[in-house]
Amino acid sequence: MHTANNDAVRDANHVAGPSDAAGAADSGFLPRSGKTRKRKRAHCADATSVSQQGKHGVKPRCGGSCKRKCSSKISHEIRECINHEFWTMSHFQRRSFMLHSMKYKLAARKTVRSDSRRKHSYWYFLSGSDGETLVCKTFYLTTLGFERSNDKSLMNALKSTAIDSNTPGRDGRRRAPSAKKIDQSTVTAHIKTFNPAVSHYRREHAPHR
């Protein structure tokens, strides 16, 4: 027997789809903005990785005047492979990769002037056909997809690592306390000034039960 209750149950179990949104638009039931509402896409790590690879592709290598002759040691195909593997890693894994593929120590001598701010000497390594290969900084950065003058990621990886540690520090983003958070103890103390008590309401005490 068909009843109004059956219709209500059917409507409650119905899942809205794209056709429903179009029907709502045709029938005139729209939000105040006048546009149909769209469901947000779920965050996907693979999609983020693909977008990063497109943004941080292999950049032009160092020129023919490079003293280390990096181009003759590592082919473009290997550079593409290194770049792809690098940008499929997580943020922490990328920092670990940079930390373990470079070496540094206090500068033994200063070749410019005595008041130079240069305190360390750096060496950069990438895996080539002959194993771990020493390359110049420009070749290293452009292979990983950074601009040749942008070493901010390298320096951040070094700064986040303790001197006696081989593991970079954790990413501090999204870890700061919320600016909207208030001290709950003040609110609690104010409420207690009214001498609150546990509710003793019972149904038999209700006059209109």
Q: What is the pLDDT of residues 88-138, one digit of tens each?
A: 998 888 988 998 898 888 777 766 666 667 777 889 999 888 888 999 999
Continuous segment of H or E residues that includes residue 1: none
Question: pTM of whole model > 0.85?
Answer: no
Higher pLDDT, 23 or 58: 58
What does the pLDDT look like over 136-165, one tens digit per residue?
999 999 999 999 899 998 888 888 776 566
Residues whose CB falls within 8 Å of the CB of residue 92, separated by 6 or more in sequence, listed in order: 168, 170, 171
135: which 2 tokens? Answer: 């390359």
Q: Which residues of 63-95 are buried (b: 16+ CB within 10 A; e: fewer)?
A: eeeeebebbebbeeebbeebbeebbeeeeeebb
